[in-house]
Amino acid sequence: LKPGESNCVLFSDSPIEYPQAAKDAILKRYADLPLPADFPCCADEDDTLISNLDYNDNLLFKHDEFLQLLEFALKDFIANDDIVAGYPYYGAWGRDTMIVLNALLRIPGQLEQVEKVLRKYSRHLRGGLIPNMLPETGREVNYDSIDATLWYIILLWKVGKRKVDVGYWKEVIHLCEEILKSILNNKQYPFEIRQDGLINLKPEFAHATWMDVRMDGQSITPRDGAPVEINSLWYNALCCYEAMCKSYQEASGIPYLPMDLLVSTKEKVKEAFRKYWTSDYLADRLVGDTQIKEVRPNAILALSLPWQPVDKGQMKAVFLKAEAELLTPYGIRTLSPQDPRFRKKYYGSQKERDLAYHNGSVWAWLLGAFCGLGLKIWREDLDDEALAAKLSGYVQTFRTSFQKGHIASLAEVWDGDSPHFPKGAPAQAISVAALYNIETFIATLREES
């Protein structure tokens, strides 16, 4: 090539009929992508390529450029009417899709995309559940997820708050009534509603939470009984339904009372939640009335949601214990190192890695819940700038890695013990979504301070 000229190389897993059009589409998509400070075209005319390169590991992107990069990284997981869970291994998973859509809602202009995905999953509702896997992922459709549907209801409520549309509220209220009644009266899937209103997973459905790894048909991290985050999601889904009814009344002026059965179930679940409290944390699950006292991040997930079924003192105790035992510079451990089952490294055979996956491995996506819970605790005591500084401390490792050009996405998991090497998929949607949520909230706090 002559000075100033460029060329493109296209890679595809299928034939490209119109290479020029494909190239133009890619260039358009990344036209505003920030370039590192030592990129050749950023150099002065007198500089050579070699002299402009940074050899001292300096920051190559400004903070506002990092936020742009993070938005690009998040949008890279959008695949028409779904979300790719991670590259290069994964297709679309219902649970991950719902979690990522929460972050996409924060990006201006993405509301229509979020609705497009939600409508797709609405068409696949069966027995009150949305699928966790669809046929286009290359696998058989399955409904092995109880939480995906509960995340879905929370999303419907969040979308409604942005649309402020009477017709939308009316549509989703009826949809949620059908879903919630189907869950209450479930006969199709291996779970049941206990007398106290909590969702109880039977042993054969113990893999239906995000800790879903199985080996030889058995759950490696059993979640049978009443998992804490599932029942907080259940409580929040019922609260969202009630809030939808109120929003519809306010927008339309037409009285619409929530169903008594669903309101009474919500109150029962809130009352039953006291059974999880140990003395300084929440039990990971209940088997009957027996507390399974494992220090896992599911307690953080449970208390990071919009509505909390416990008091602020309990929330603070959970946060402090998680901060002491689960927090790392790369995310949250899936099990306390004080537990004898803790596995500090994610390596070895498939079996060994599966055993570590939810028993010590660090997940970045859990930082979103951790910071969300922290905000609920500190909100009344700290001003906006102090809050922003506190949150920044939890994500500084990732922020610096992006700004130095070390990474362009976030991995699936990290080793549970130092030096915390990244493992699994090198680009995981829920990891990027969590960091985007935290960083955009920090930016909002600083704008308001």
The neighbouring-strand residues paired with 430 are: none
The rounded distance, in Å, linking the Cα atoms of 171 and 114 is 16
**What is the length of the chain?**
449
> Could you tell me if 182 and 198 are in contact, meaning their C-beta atoms sit under 8 angstroms apart?
no
Q: Quick one: tokens of 4?
A: 């100033």
The closest alpha carbon to 99, from 334, 442, 439, 429, belongs to 429
The DSSP secondary structure of 241-310, one letter per residue, reads HHHHHHHHHHHH----PPPHHHHHHHHHHHHHGGGGB-SSSB-SEEETTEEE----THHHHHHSSSS-SS
With vertex at residue 294, the alpha carbon angle to CA 289 and CA 296, rounded to the nearest 5 degrees, is 125
Q: Among 139, 303, 167, 168, which residue's Cα sits nearest to residue 235?
A: 303
Give me Rg for the CA atoms of the chain. 23
Does domain 124-320 sit in CATH 1.50.10.10?
A: yes
pLDDT at 26: 87
In whole angstroms, what separates CA 405 from the centre of its chain?
24
For residues 358 and 220, is the Cβ–Cβ distance under 8 A?
Answer: yes
Helix 147-163 with 111-122: angle, nearest 10 deg: 140
Instruction: Quote the pLDDT of residue 48.
Output: 57
pLDDT value of position 356: 96
Give, in order, the Cα–Cα distances in Å from 220 to each of 216, 223, 229. Answer: 10, 9, 18
Distance CA 73, CA 401 (A): 14
Q: What is the pLDDT of residue 47?
A: 55
Average pLDDT along the chain, 449 residues, taken 10 residues at a time:
78 89 88 83 58 82 96 96 95 97 97 97 96 76 95 98 94 98 97 98 96 90 97 99 97 94 98 97 97 98 97 97 98 98 96 96 98 95 94 98 97 96 98 98 88
d(CA 412, CA 428): 5
Each domain of the chain, given as residue ranges in start order, spans 1-61, 69-91+326-449, 124-320
Of residues 194, 196, 176, the one with CA closest to residue 128: 176
Structural contact between residues 64 and 73, judged by C-beta atoms closer than 8 angstroms:
no
Question: Token match 């699950």: residue?
Answer: 285
Rounded to the nearest 5 degrees, what angle is found at the Cα of 372, between the Cα atoms of 369 and 377?
130
| pLDDT of the residue at 107 | 96
Distance CA 268, CA 197 (A): 6
SS3 312: helix
pLDDT at 41: 63
User: By the 8 A CB rule, do 387 and 379 touch?
Assistant: yes
